[in-house]
Amino acid sequence: MTLALVETAIVPAHLAPAPERTPIWVAWLAEQPPGAVAVVPFPENGSPQAYEATTIMMLQALEHRHPLVNGYSGFFPGDYLRLRRAMANFPDEASLRLLMTTETRYLVIDHAWLTQTRQERLNSMALHPLYSDTRVRVYQLTEVTRSLLCRAVAPCPPE
């Protein structure tokens, strides 16, 4: 009897609040040409709490309709884990080059994460925002970025 009560006990689950309305940047991105999106920062580790922001971002992707480079499921392929490790040092040449191999077109960067040093590094890599509001900046990986990286480090990612 006691075992049956323990098995049927209801334990409250930790739930993250759902976004109240569609952020303006999501509507803006929905109007842009096709291309994969990487949302920065990536989760710091594999804990469920580290993926709360990713869950919200995945829900937002249903509205902007662009594929995500850094979504999640119950399975993490080796390529994703390698990208997550590289993104710990973003923005740097290695992380940008790896993003290019995933055919990432747009970078959505959280303002809270974007320090002055990180902003200067983005600028030095010929990355300039296409869109900016109080929450995010959206950048596009372009041929200019590709050519700068290819001159700095070989071999270049395939086109």
What's the rounded Cα separation, in Å, for the pair 142 and 33?
13
User: Given this model, what pLDDT does residue 111 score?
Assistant: 93
| pLDDT band of 159, cuts 50, 70, 90 | low
List the Cα angle 18/20/63 in 5-degree steps: 80
Specify the pTM: 0.78
104, 37 Cβ separation under 8 angstroms? yes
Helix extents (H) in 8-66 = 24-30, 52-64
Give percent above pLDDT 70 in the chain. 78
- Are the CB atoms for 68 and 36 separated by under 8 Å? yes
Q: How far is CA 159 from the centre of its chain?
A: 21
